[in-house]
Amino acid sequence: MTTNGKEQPAEHRPAELYTGSERPYDPEDLVRASGREPTPSSLAWARRLIEEEGPGAIERYLP
């Protein structure tokens, strides 16, 4: 059995794995990566963090 729980591997697996800020992300992505629900206050928190720390703000929440 594969890690996707099936006998066959996943068909649409990405060619490369991305783990951080090398790709664009939005405040909702940051909120979800931090384990929070996307509420107005958590989205405001994410916007502030992105403004303060730049694109690398998500790095602490991703492997």
Its pTM surpasses 0.75: no
Q: What is the pLDDT, as a whole number, of residue 1?
A: 43
Per-residue pLDDT band for 3 (boundaries 50, 70, 90) equals low
Distance (Å, whole) CA 14 – CA 52: 31
List phi, psi (to 5°) of 61.
Answer: -100, -10
List phi, psi (to 5°) of 22.
Answer: -75, -10
- pLDDT tens-digit profile of 12-58? 655 665 666 778 889 999 999 999 999 999 999 999 999 999 988 99
Show me where the domains of the chain are located.
27-61
Q: What is the pLDDT, as a whole number, of residue 4?
A: 54
